């Protein structure tokens, strides 16, 4: 169903670099977030970085989809990526992170810093 107080969405990174529709998928995810900010949550993955979007094609897809504005959009999109959290904690019990857990124990209070 649609995002709601009873049906939260958590996108766990790598929104881009998954095919030619990357810019459109990202716009749809951002629209969901804007429409239901209390019910849609985003974690940053490794592909939400300058290095990956350049290497894996998102920047080229952005240029193809928005030829007149792609550079300005790239800067804004990466600004948004840089503000995304790396993890979410659900109900105080479930830790969700895109890249997995480290080999050593890290308390949540340290991650919050």
Q: Is the pLDDT of residue 95 over 90?
A: no
Q: For 7, which DSSP code?
A: B
Q: How many C-beta atoms surround the C-beta of residue 66 within 10 A? A: 15
Percentage, residues of the chain above pLDDT 90: 75
pLDDT one-digit tens code per residue, 46-67: 999 999 999 999 999 999 999 9
Mean pLDDT in residue range 4-13: 96
Catalytic residue among 8, 41, 47, 55: 47
pLDDT one-digit tens code per residue, 16-32: 988 899 999 999 999 99
Catalytic residue at 47? yes
The pTM (predicted TM-score) of the whole model is 0.84
Report the run of H or E that residue 87 belongs to, with start and end.
Answer: strand 87-90
d(CA 61, CA 71): 12
Q: Which residue, among 99, 51, 57, has the nearest Cα to 78 in the 3D structure?
A: 51
Q: How many CA atoms lie within 13 A of 86 on its CB side?
A: 10
Q: Are strands 94-97 and 87-90 parallel, antiparallel or unpaired?
A: antiparallel
Residue pair 98/104 in contact (Cβ under 8 Å)? The answer is: no
CA distances from 93 to 11, 57, 72, 90 (A): 18, 36, 40, 6
């Amino acid at each position: 169903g649609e995002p709601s107080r009873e049906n939260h969405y958590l996108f766990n990174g790598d929104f881009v670099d998954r095919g030619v529709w990357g810019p459109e998928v990202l716009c749809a995810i951002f629209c969901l977030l804007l429409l239901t900010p209390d019910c849609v949550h985003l974690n940053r993955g490794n592909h939400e970085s300058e290095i990956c979007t350049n290497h894996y094609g998102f920047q080229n897809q952005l240029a193809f989809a928005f030829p007149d504005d792609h550079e300005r959009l790239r800067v804004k999109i990466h600004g948004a990526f840089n503000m995304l959290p790396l993890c979410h904690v659900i109900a105080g019990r479930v830790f969700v992170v895109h890249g997995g857990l480290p080999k050593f124990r890290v308390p949540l209070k340290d991650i919050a810093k």
